[in-house]
Amino acid sequence: MKTWHPNKRRIIFHIDMNCFYASVEMAHDTSLKGKPIAIAGNPEKRKGIIVTSSYEARAKGVKTTMPLWEAKKLCPELIVRPPRFERYRAASKKMFTILSEITPFVEPISIDEGYMDVTDINFTTHPVETAKQLQKRLLVELDLPCSIGIGPNKFLAKTASDMKKPLGITILRKRELHKTLWPLPVDQMYGIGEKTAEKLRKIQVNTIGELAERNVYDLTQLLGVNGERLKNRANGVDVSPVDPDSVNEFKSIGSSQTLPADTTSEADINQLFVALCERVEQRMKRRQVVGLSVQIMIRYHDRHTVTRSQKLVSYIEDQADILTVALELFQKHWNEEPVRLLGVTVQHIEEKSRTAKQMDLFTYEKDIKKEQLKNTIDHLSKKYGKQTFTSLKAKDNHDAQFTTSFQKDFLDDFQE
């Protein structure tokens, strides 16, 4: 068999799983295949928000973040399933394990997508054939479709993977950008959001080609250092490496969850805060890290979202500390409107071994932490009733399927 010899240019794959959550549900229940399905909060208890949907549902106009009632109006036959994030995490781990069997240079960037640097693989066939074999393997072994973009750098590979879905394989070459990329509207370029696109249009940059040709001075005046970066990308320039270790460079660990119904019940709110802080503590202990600030997120019934944080004088890692700060922030900033979703995040993360001296000086022993947590829960139980927290453990397993966050600290599970 003839060996294909790559030149010095990098060969980057971007793997993008198609309608990942919906595809995982279809893999578990094949009767859903070919039907319009959506993942949306808790469809039995609330008017949920669409998390994702199948291509059949999208063809009917169903979109991510659309209220469930609106999606049902557009597509009356829509099949709705609640999110099952543990199931999606398991599928993600299997997916990244398969990628890592091809090359050690795998960089996960979310639960359902990642980069592969295959430059130094000793190909026996053209890289496109390798991509086809990988795509087929994911489909046969996991029953999950994906699109693969191939390019000389991460930006072009990512852009290419978006060009054909589902089950697409697309190559994007620098020499073809004037035909493939430059005619597109500037807001279709990866890395450009609505606000940035609006700013660019004000200086008559309407297409990616016009961005590629605009002088650096104008762009940096408008967008700062990001202006030059975007111009480079529009010209197909991206020197960032595929970094397998970047997944470990997280600076925060958090968890968020949608409530079964919009509520002003402080008992329900506090109960959820206890569960969220417990999850955050578990993830921090797993990673052997501590944090120096706590942030909460409050999403109201009208989807208005606020975040508030507090910097601490010493590093923390225990549920009791996290819960104390989170509750104080909530009481200070809640406007008493019905709450739809809550989140807790510990930020400014550092490895525990690096902060051991400060931890010894400023933190309590474990038994004191447990007593502090017990006192907090006892206080809330007296205020809102003894049953408020008694079923927390049992409910947590049930409610885990409605967790709405997927933190980056899970993304190296496949390496374990």
β-strand partners of 309: 295
Angle made by CA atoms 59, 63, 69, in degrees to the nearest 5: 105
What is the token pair recorded at 388? 């408020």
Amino acid 181: pLDDT: 96
Is the pTM value of this prediction over 0.75?
no
DSSP state of 122: -
Amino acid 365: pLDDT: 47
Amino acid 394: pLDDT: 38
Where a domain ends, among 138, 158, 175?
175
Phi/psi zone of residue 24: left (φ > 0), alpha (ψ -120 to 50 degrees), beta? alpha
β-strand partners of 305: 299
Question: Are residues 100 and 201 both part of a single domain?
Answer: no
Give dist(CA 333, CA 413) in Å, integer. 36
Q: What is the CATH number of the domain that holds 116?
A: 3.30.70.270
Question: Are residues 305 and 401 both part of a single domain?
Answer: yes
Question: Are residues 82 and 191 both part of a single domain?
Answer: no
Helix (H) or strand (E) holding 359: helix 356-362
Question: Is residue 235 scored above 60 in pLDDT?
Answer: yes
Give dist(CA 63, CA 163) in Å, integer. 18
In a domain, 298, yes or no: yes
Question: Are residues 146 and 293 both part of a single domain?
Answer: no
Give dist(CA 273, CA 82) in Å, integer. 21
113 is catalytic: yes
In a domain, 241, yes or no: no
Q: What is the CATH number of the domain that holds 208?
A: 1.10.150.20
Owning domain of residue 133: 8-175
Question: Are residues 267 and 221 both part of a single domain?
Answer: no
In a domain, 3, yes or no: no
Where a domain ends, among 175, 190, 217?
175
- Domain count of the chain? 3
In a domain, 392, yes or no: yes
Question: Are residues 48 and 110 both part of a single domain?
Answer: yes
* Poorest-pLDDT segment among 100-104, 286-290, 308-312, 318-322: 286-290
In a domain, 202, yes or no: yes
Amino acid 415: pLDDT: 61
Question: Are residues 195 and 267 both part of a single domain?
Answer: no
Question: Are residues 22 and 105 both part of a single domain?
Answer: yes
Angle made by CA atoms 222, 226, 232, in degrees to the nearest 5: 110
Q: What is the CATH number of the domain that holds 368?
A: 3.30.1490.100
Q: What is the mean pLDDT of the segment spanning 142-169?
A: 96
- DSSP-based helix, strand, coil % in the chain, nearest 5: 50, 20, 30
Question: Is residue 43 scored above 90 in pLDDT?
Answer: no
* CA torsion through residues 42, 43, 47, 52, sign: positive
Question: Are residues 251 and 294 both part of a single domain?
Answer: yes
Question: Are residues 23 and 157 both part of a single domain?
Answer: yes
Question: Is residue 8 scored above 80 in pLDDT?
Answer: no
Residue with tokens 């090359």: 103
In a domain, 117, yes or no: yes
Contacts of 368 (CB under 8 A, 6+ apart): none
Question: Are residues 300 and 410 both part of a single domain?
Answer: yes
Question: Is residue 372 scored above 90 in pLDDT?
Answer: no
Pure H helices in 171-315:
177-180, 194-202, 208-213, 216-223, 225-234, 266-287
In a domain, 239, yes or no: no
Where a domain ends, among 142, 175, 208?
175
User: Which position among 25, 56, 113, 266 bears the catalytic label?
Assistant: 113
Question: Are residues 208 and 110 both part of a single domain?
Answer: no
In a domain, 141, yes or no: yes
Amino acid 287: pLDDT: 82
Q: What is the mean pLDDT of the chain?
A: 85
Under 8 Å between Cβ of 260 and 42: yes
Residues above pLDDT 90, as percent of the chain: 64
